[in-house]
Chain A
Amino acid sequence: MKLRTAIISVLCLGLACSAGILGTQAYGQGKGAVEMPEITVLSPMGTPPPITLKAQAPRLDTLDGKTLYLVNTGFVGTERLMEVMTEWFAANHPKTTIVNKRNPSMDVPNKALWDEIHEKADAVILGLGH
């Protein structure tokens, strides 16, 4: 028992010496430190713009007998996805007419295409790919 106490004492002494050699300095105030006072800081936030809400397009009661445009916006792979989706509609919604179209730009809606969609389509699935 005495031997164990002695070893622990030596270890403690060693640790104390190491701390001294390393020049350890206590920054914290520890127990009894004065509670930090409240301060006020400014918000770093910028200003988001107001958003004008748009009502979404009315929904269809059924897809049967309707014309559905599948529009590929051009990101690599989208054409293939639309191809597989077209097959799925043919097998699962044979009474729906599917029209495949390609928007020439990923970012800008093509006016002629959107005029056609307004005139002829009952619904659109826009394939962004990615």
Chain B
Amino acid sequence: MEVALNSGMPNLRIQYFRGPVWGKTNDQLRKQIIEGNNPITGKPVMQEIIGHLTRPLTADEKKTGELNPGRGPAAFTGTPDELQQLFLDKRMTDFLPITLPTEDKVEEMLKATSHEPDEILGKMNPGSEAGDVWTYTVRDAAVNAVMAGAKPEYFPVILALGSTGTTPVNVSDNGFMAGAVINGAIREEIGLNSDIGAVGPYAHANTVIGRAWSLLAINGGNCGKVGTTYMGTVGNPVNLTNIIMAENEENSPFQPLSVRRGFKKGENIVTLFMGWGILSAKNWKANVWGSTMNYPQIIKDIYAQQDAMFGTIAVLSPPIADFVKDAGYDTVETFTEFVTDAGAAKPKPKIGGFGMRGGNFTVVVTGGSNNNYFMMGGMVPTVSVKIDDWR
């Protein structure tokens, strides 16, 4: 529907049937789709398709001209309770209570950047071709940052994320998620957690920055509307606050991710990720606990089990990173060569029309040193942005 609307045909005749198509035998396709009924109207699918092709066009279907939906009212007035309800009713929230974005609070947020409030910060859509590209300003980002509960000192990071136009709330029925890794002194400056619980939700800066990014996507990029711009078949709970990681540079034996991506050490950089998510490496049988542990081989074995679409991310706690270094891998690059069998044949780059990133392997070091635990999953770095450009 969103694609039809944005292609200029809001009344395009759409045929619904009991999906999905793929993975089914000819017999299943015949019974469930071709000889089946539209689950909404209850009428035979093929009868409706013939109707779509032969029924004369209505006046609405012949319409030309311009449709300008606009951004709606610039402000809303009411009691705090009424406004909380209004934001819910208009689906301008993530369903959690918000900090109401009064002009004073938004002005305070805007003081944290030298950029003009009316500057176009970015353009975003829900991903793929679903939905047209919306535009949002620095002020729009400030409003959403206030709603998320952000402190003004977080705002440059939120702007850096917003400037990429990358949605963390993707339309895909796969249920994609997003993450970001932050390097540089800003980690300490704004209180990002890079120690125990680093990827968990219980650190104000990490969680609120991630929430602000998702709220900006909902309101600035028309994302997260279940059934139209959010089609995750079973969804992804990470979409609420994303995974905002600060690398534990102080306890890592390796160069920070930002340096490995070409930036100077100490620069404040945020690197965006997209993928499926991460979970404890104990999830894989390759990670069997014993009296001595060969973590490089365990990571390699888990890597071998990963899907090619987003490649692999290893989020190593400092003790695991130390194990890797002690095994003779002085840099992430040499470790990556071992893990990915550099020079070996890579997975085929295309499956079902999607571009695959087979062979991609990323290491991030974060978390505490209270145990030999780590996480792995499917996430690929997309773009890195200088945070200080948004001060």
Contacts and interface: CB of A to CB of B under 8 A. Distances in A.
Contact of A53 (B8, B19, B137, B140): B8
Interface residues of A, number: 51
Interface string B341-365: 0000000000011000000000000
B68 A50 contact: yes
B378 interface: no
Nearest to B221: A46
Which of A48, A62, A77, A80 is most buried by chain B, counting CB atoms within 10 A of its CB? Answer: A48
A105 B355 CA distance: 12
Interface string A32-60: 00011111111111111111111110111
B188 interface: no
Interface string B216-240: 0001111000000000000000000
Interface residues of B, number: 79
A44 B136 CA distance: 9
A53 B64 contact: yes
Interface in B44-98: 46, 49-50, 53-57, 61-81, 83, 92
Interface in B143-197: 143-144, 147, 173
Interface in A65-104: 68, 73-78, 80-81, 83-85, 87-88, 92-93
A48 B70 contact: yes
Interface stretch (A10-18, A22-30, A122-130): A122-130
A42 to B, nearest CB: 5
A7 interface: no
Contacts of A76: 22-23, 352
Interface in B91-145: 92, 100-103, 106, 124, 129, 132-137, 139-140, 143-144
A8 interface: no
Nearest to B222: A48
A60 B143 contact: no
Contact of B92 (A44, A50, A53, A105): A44
A51 B66 contact: yes
A63 interface: yes
Contacts of B83: 39, 41
Contacts of B71: 43, 45-48
B224 to A, nearest CB: 13
Contacts of A42: 74-75, 101-103, 106, 139, 143
Nearest to A35: B79
A17 B288 CA distance: 50
Given A40-B75, A53-B9, A81-B29, A59 B219 contact: no
A107 interface: yes
B20 interface: yes
B48 to A, nearest CB: 12
Given A39-B100, A59-B55, A76-B352, A129 B21 contact: yes
B122 to A, nearest CB: 9
A61 interface: yes
B299 interface: no
Contact of B66 (A47, A53, A80, A107): A53
A51 B353 contact: no
B29 A80 contact: yes
A66 to B, nearest CB: 9
Given A44-B92, A48-B222, A77-B22, 4 more contacts: A47-B71, A51-B69, A56-B12, A80-B29
7 contacts: A39-B78, A43-B92, A45-B219, A47-B136, A54-B7, A77-B21, A81-B34
